[in-house]
Amino acid sequence: MGSRKISTGGPYYHIPVMKKKVLEALSLRGGSVYVDGTFGGGGHSSAILDLFDCIIIATDKDMNSSQIAKKLNKKYQDRINFYNTSYTQIPTLLDSLSIKAVDGLLLDLGVSSMQLDNPKRGFSFQNEGPLDMRMGDSGISAYDVVNNMKVEHLSEIIKDFGEERYSKIIAKKIDDYRKINTINTTTQLSKIIDDAVGNFYKKQRGMHIHPATRTFQAIRVFVNNEFEEIYTLLMGICDYIRLGGRIAVITFHSLEDRIIKNIFDHLTGYSSSKSRYEPTTESEMKYPFFYPDKKFYKPDQNEIKENPRSRSAKLRYIQRTKHLFRENLDIYSMSKYKRIFEELK
Ligand SMILES: C[S@@+](CC[C@H](N)C(=O)[O-])C[C@H]1O[C@@H](n2cnc3c(N)ncnc32)[C@H](O)[C@@H]1O
């Protein structure tokens, strides 16, 4: 699989994952409008534009993506309509552009390599940098969470958004440390976590990840309100997908993937008790979407060898039926976290 590196004009670049499969998933039937909610380095958008004479409506919270979209637009004759905003704004953007229906939506969740590798963004515990982790340039940062959040909330966030079994111990250690010193950098935080639970990790069989991995994930998810934004967009976009159009989502960790799976199962009326080889029934076709084939895809060994960061990627996609989307699926109500969020402001 060709994996063109997308240059950002700086030293960092992003390789789009599962590019060929994403194009198949979106089932590019020569449609005219596709939405790329997570434009990043524009790798997936470019692949779509290379294939078809369509336009792309793209969003990304990251300012740097605006520059990339501008550059790519020279190549693609202004076929990219980029907005530096959250993808939750897509339905509103489509309304403002008088676009009633689109042929497909792609979400490639998480952070780009450009964000991860730039120490100034503070996403990685491996590079010394400020505790930031914001995908955009506003809102609370990792610094606020680590230095100002109540210890019991910190523990809750680390457990809920990082699935970290040692969340209480880590939160307590952070709290002890910040009573004496402000925690300013990624490596400072990473060392505090390592001191707190490094030994537990070493003793646990199968725990090959760095002890800071889950806590960093949790803080990033919280800072960017990632789960609520996924839910908000997927609930808001359904009736903008044209009959036969598709929603394709790439996830990078199990919590994220579970959310997509649950929402897709709900939108398709899929029951996990049923074998995926059984044909779609008449009653399932009353749902606004269906699964065109199997439930998810992963990168092959060649891709993982060429781009090790793709190893945890999972792609799921669903296809629009003629049935209206009506229900409000409130399975990911974030009210509890909203309160914690407000306290930090
Ligand atoms: C994995 S990268 C996408 C890479 C892209 N597909 C490519 O080929 O270059 C994820 C991107 O999504 C953006 N992002 C994450 N959450 C977002 C949100 N709620 N709204 C808009 N952009 C978001 C990030 O800033 C990041 O640039």
pLDDT tens for each residue of 163-192 = 999 999 999 999 999 999 999 999 999 999
For residue 44, the ligand 1 atom closest to its alpha carbon is: 8
From-to residues of CATH 3.40.50.150 in the chain: 6-114+226-330
- Range of lowest pLDDT (212-226, 263-277, 330-344): 330-344
**In terms of Cα–Cα distance, which of 8, 83, 77 is closest to 43?**
8
For residue 106, the ligand 1 atom closest to its alpha carbon is: 6
Q: Above pLDDT 90, what percent of the chain?
A: 77
pLDDT band at 223 (very low <50, low <70, confident <90, very high): very high
pLDDT computed for residue 7 by the predictor: 42
pTM above 0.85, yes or no: yes
* Residues facing residue 246 across a β-bridge: 104, 319
Whole-number Å distance, alpha carbon 112 to ligand 1 midpoint, is 6
CATH of 6-114+226-330, one of 1.10.1370.30, 2.60.120.260, 3.40.50.150, 3.40.50.2000: 3.40.50.150
DSSP 16: P
pLDDT computed for residue 337 by the predictor: 67
Q: How confident is the model over 130-148, as a mean pLDDT? A: 96
Q: Does residue 8 line the site of ligand 1, with CB under 6 A?
A: no
Q: Does residue 223 line the site of ligand 1, with CB under 6 A?
A: no
Q: How confident is the model over 125-152, as a mean pLDDT? A: 96
Going by CATH, does the domain composed of 137-223 fall within 1.10.150.170? yes
Q: Does residue 232 line the site of ligand 1, with CB under 6 A?
A: no
Torsion of CA 14, 227, 249, 8, to 10 degrees: -20
pLDDT computed for residue 273 by the predictor: 55
Whole-number Å distance, alpha carbon 37 to ligand 1 midpoint, is 7
What does each C-alpha distance from 233 to 9, 28, 49, 154, 184 come to in angstroms?
Answer: 30, 22, 23, 27, 33
The 10s digit of each residue's pLDDT in 20-75 is 999 999 987 777 999 999 999 999 999 999 988 899 999 999 999 999 999 999 99
From the centroid of its chain, how far is CA 119?
20
Token pair in block for residue 24:
């198949």
pLDDT computed for residue 342 by the predictor: 75
What does each C-alpha distance from 203 to 10, 199, 208, 250 come to in angstroms?
Answer: 40, 6, 10, 32
String of b and e for 231-251 (b: at least 16 CB within 10 Å)? bbbbbbbbebbeeebbbbbbb
Residues 77, 55: Cα–Cα separation, whole Å: 10
Element spanning 7, H or E: strand 6-7
From-to residues of CATH 1.10.150.170 in the chain: 137-223
Q: How confident is the model over 138-161, as a mean pLDDT? A: 97
Q: Does residue 86 line the site of ligand 1, with CB under 6 A?
A: yes
Mutate which of 12, 60, 83 for ligand 1? The one with the most ligand atoms within 8 Å of its CB, which is: 60
Q: Residue 332 pLDDT more than 60?
A: no
From the centroid of its chain, how far is CA 281?
32
Residues 223, 132: Cα–Cα separation, whole Å: 9
For the chain, helix (H) and strand (E) counts, in that order, are 14, 9
Residues 114, 128: Cα–Cα separation, whole Å: 16
Whole-number Å distance, alpha carbon 157 to ligand 1 midpoint, is 22
Residue in the structure block whose two tokens are 């339905």? 91
pLDDT computed for residue 121 by the predictor: 96
Mutate which of 8, 20, 67, 135 for ligand 1? The one with the most ligand atoms within 8 Å of its CB, which is: 135
pLDDT computed for residue 245 by the predictor: 95
What does each C-alpha distance from 49 to 90, 104, 222, 247 come to in angstroms?
Answer: 19, 13, 33, 17
Give φ, ψ of 81 to 5 degrees: -105, 95
